[in-house]
Amino acid sequence: MRDLPLEKAKAQSETCSTLRCEVHISLTGLTLFLLRAWRQLTFGTYGYLNFTKPGFIEHSKNFKAEDMETRIDGKNCIVTGANSGIGFATAEGLASRGATIYMVCRNKERGEAAQSKIESTTGNQNVHLEVCNLSSLSDVKSFVGLQIANLKSYIFLSQVALTEKWAEMNKSKGIGFYSMHPGWAETAGVAKSLPSFFKALSGKLRTNDEGADTIIWLALQPKEKLVSGAFYFDRAEAPKHLMFAATSCSHEFIDSVIDSLRCISGISAQD
Ligand SMILES: NC(=O)c1ccc[n+]([C@@H]2O[C@H](COP(=O)([O-])OP(=O)(O)OC[C@H]3O[C@@H](n4cnc5c(N)ncnc54)[C@H](OP(=O)(O)O)[C@@H]3O)[C@@H](O)[C@H]2O)c1
């Protein structure tokens, strides 16, 4: 360093730090790439073995027929996306067991067509249509404002980590929160949004009824038999995360999501 002019030494030191920075960025990139590849590989393999129809047939060997024989007359169930796919099969399955159904659909005509179909196949006349676009905050607010005071039980399809948090926040109130995976079902939604996947797994996807099976099972079980906050798949508690896939969220992150949801919907922390 003694022989170098000050500028040259400074330039050399800047080059070193630039190099260090580049190495750091490419290592992070490589790690993220490997993590993504690992997630895709493990999720794809796990899904192919478990989420497909053969997976359902295998798991159904442990199902108990009597679990689905319970009547739930008088129980209120809200089913979102109830005019097609898994939502329709869920609404129909719950209506056939006597529940009062609130079908939440964004399109009145499609909703009415599904409502009449469910009424005629199940003979249950307590099937109501609520027109609400779930991507519109004002629609959701007015729907919740109208319904919340009258209902005792709800079905929400929600994220695993939020379900866990809500279960913890409400454990003293006796309200159960559960998340589930339906497997891979042959629905219009999958055909439209994942055409290559739909084609590649043709004949191996579950029916809509098989996709709705665990949701209906959850609604029929006594609360004491279930674990609030748990994640269910094929009528059994299942692991929430894939091995070494870094899919779990920190408590701080979930808290910030809940704070944002409260802020958007104007609900205070006491509500
Ligand atoms: N099928 C699978 O293999 C699979 C796997 C994992 C998870 N899931 C999840 O299960 C749920 C149902 O999937 P699916 O395959 O049965 O889908 P689908 O056949 O496309 O049905 C989706 C339903 O949701 C309704 N919907 C969509 N956006 C809405 C909005 N903004 N407001 C109100 N309703 C809305 C649709 O109504 P319109 O008829 O008006 O479009 C339709 O009735 C989805 O959350 C999906 O991510 C499905």
Residue 240 lies in a domain: yes
Residue 138 in domain: yes
216 is a domain residue: yes
Please report, for the domain that includes residue 148, its CATH number: 3.40.50.720
Angle at 130 between CA 127 and CA 136, to 5 degrees: 155
The answer to whether the CB of 188 is under 6 A from ligand 1 is: yes
Query: Which amino acid residue places its CA nearest to atom 4 of ligand 1?
Result: 184
* For residue 20, pLDDT beyond 70: no
pLDDT over 80 at 111, yes or no: yes
Q: Which atom of ligand 1 is nearest to the CA of 185?
A: 3
d(CA 266, CA 224): 33
pLDDT at 155: 45
Q: Is 151 within the bounds of a domain?
A: yes
Asked, for residue 117, whether it belongs to a domain, the answer is yes
pTM for the model: 0.84
State yes or no: pLDDT of 23 exceeds 80: no
Is the model's pLDDT at 101 over the cut of 70?
yes
Total domain count, the chain: 1
- The pLDDT of residue 93 is above 60: yes
Mutate to test the pocket of ligand 1, among 48, 80, 86 (most ligand atoms within 8 A of CB): 86
Task: State residue 271's pLDDT score.
Answer: 61
Amino acid identity of residue 175, one-letter, is: I
What token pair was written down for 66?
A: 């009597």
- For residue 222, what are the domain limits? 53-265
Does residue 219 form part of some domain? yes
Instruction: For residue 231, give the H/E element and its range.
Output: strand 231-233
Mean pLDDT of 27-55: 89
User: Does a structural domain hold residue 6?
Assistant: no
CA of 25 to the centre of ligand 1 (A): 38
Tokens of 43: 């999720």
Residue 61 lies in a domain: yes
Q: What is the pLDDT of residue 118?
A: 98
